[in-house]
Structure 1
């Protein structure tokens, strides 16, 4: 493509009298022909160098990334219902994520949990766990795609608020917009099926079965990241029409062992269902999360309704226990100041976790999360620092960001 552009520009420059337009008699005049050839060659060389430099500038204009480095950004629950339909239609599809889309797109892969259905079908179906029903218009899928989401977990309490047809629509709308979904499907097999994502980075990949240097694969190979998710708070079964991946210990650990040998990076997600009254991480949460790390997960990302919990580093691998609500309709939230972690790996090794402070309690737009700076950022990060400290994790606050380094 580059050479084609060079050729076209050179042709434009020489269009008045191209050397190949001369007759054989003229070409026999050696000095002239050589000069003309040198002229053309010089122009081509200059153009090639210019465009090569421009191409390098474009490549390096974004965030500097080391070879083999992959960043994964994760957020808490996104709960959107009919109450936000007028907002989407009045202010545009980007209104929900407008203030944080730059952060989302700056990561190699962005993931979230969707705690609603996306459909215009179905009737409200209340359960013991869900006292409210949420359903978003199909435009939400477009909004999420434009914001930059790559993978969405559907193992959430409100997915089936409007029945199996609405849940099927949710998968369909997200997939049509280029977003991969995990955790729900028409069969147990499809519900447990992982999502595979190839970020546009280069990576040095070592065969897990052979640590010898000779097994180092070409640095130009793209990394393949696997995502899988489970639901811990009971199974959804609606006449066999829709399934959610269940958090069964043996099945989770077995699948994790299998996927870690097939992927270059493995992210395991889990939703614990209804909220609890404390931010303390339970022994049960730690047992399951640590078992997944021991089985081969590189990152465990769990979630509990309306609950903000800290991050633990276990055997060099991060466990994010809960990230509260990113969007909860237009309601007041239990945690108005939260964090969005961006986890960076290099060749399967944790490099650092960047903590982005976010305000989700703007009284004028409770549906619109926005990044914080200054004293508000420091206050938010200091509070989250305490949650992580209870898990023996050190968070350093530097300007408007928090950092966890192994």
Structure 2
């Protein structure tokens, strides 16, 4: 393959991968806007809605492990097509679910599986296999920035759809939009997976898993990612209701989530770029510690639209900026042969944290009438995550030749 064609191939992967992440992440980032319309119309509690979102995050993480395995073995584009179809079915199910159980099955299980097949673990596997080590962290930053742009683009659109069409028809419209992911998946059809062939690997799946879970740095990355999930999903889902409870308009909430998405474009790109020059573990420690400071100052300052927008901008810079360094470290330590699967396991930890953050937010609000306790937990976890990332070793793991040939 010529250098020119190779560059075109990398550009194709980045453009199609970024567009898929934009749609997939953009749609789900606005789900917090549905909390009050759904619960008020259906007569459900906030915990009912939060539980469905918690199931979604947990399912997303668990299914991501198997989506990663399938993508590593059969290629990403088949997995993405299946995810897009499930995404559309899940959104339509959300719009028509008459009970909290059916709402949890559609919003939680179907969309959770769909997100596993259309977001970072699968996309980053393609990037890892097609982009050189020298540009890999940067390329992952581009894909993560695309997801952030999706939030900036889609959240105001979703707010407009709810106000114009009603919350049910808005979900139906998003279901149709999710199907646009299908044609984009063809851009990620890797030649090495054509005709049922798969790239040769030194390790089996079980060997790769045993190696990763016995390696302390992998465990520390998973612990840090748990905190990331707890913080961002709690804020993303419960922030609109928190602001409305304090007398701010729904437009402030929409602008807040959009600002997070806008500044996250810059934050994720900067984190991916810095990951080519600085130790990624130090970048992660800084991000988690800075989040705790930002949340503390937000709670101490008077709550006004201006303070909300400043907090949203700062949190946006720190929002998904953990994603490129974390996945780049995994690829750097273990290689790219099983990157989607190993990234799926790390992301599963993220989603367990997401489950706890979104569910605990609804549960403690219903019990205490306030989100204060969850805010305090988020601050403490951020400090803990900063500390556990510092001992991470980024160097490539040394394998015994006989183990590699087993």
With the shorter chain as reference, the TM-score category is under 0.3
Larger radius of gyration, structure 1 or 2?
1
Greater share of helix:
2
TM-score between both structures, scaled by the size of structure 1: 0.27
